[in-house]
Amino acid sequence: MAKTLEMSFSTVDGKTAKMSIDNPIEPVDVVALAAAMDAIVAANVFITSGGDLVGKLGARVIERNVEDVIIG
């Protein structure tokens, strides 16, 4: 079962940019996550199609289950 931490940021153009991290440490430390997202915005090192990141919108942990189906 694969888990991903997906962080959503607002951009200068009013769009949403997402950044994902595979296999996050759980449970997620909300205070540390908020501080990390603020640092990402402040560092201004990521280029997006919507312009610079200007704020954090939220985050979520996504769990994905994959089951192979054998045919024939």
Residue 72 has pLDDT above 90, yes or no: no
Is residue 72 in a domain? Answer: no
Omega cis (within 30) before 24: no
DSSP-derived 3-state class of residue 36: helix
At 1 the pLDDT is 76
- Measured between alpha carbons, how far is 10 from 56 in angstroms, rounded to an integer? 6
Is residue 14 in a domain? Answer: yes
3-state helix, strand, coil in the chain (%, to 5): 20, 40, 40
Is residue 70 in a domain? Answer: no
Is residue 69 in a domain? Answer: no
Percent residues over pLDDT 90 in the chain: 93
Is residue 71 in a domain? Answer: no
Percent residues over pLDDT 70 in the chain: 100
Q: pLDDT tens for residues 12-42?
A: 999 999 999 999 999 999 999 999 999 999 9
Torsion of the alpha carbons at 43, 45, 46 and 51, rounded to the nearest 10: 80
Question: Looking at the 3D structure of the chain, how many domains does it have?
Answer: 1
Domain hosting 40: range is 2-64
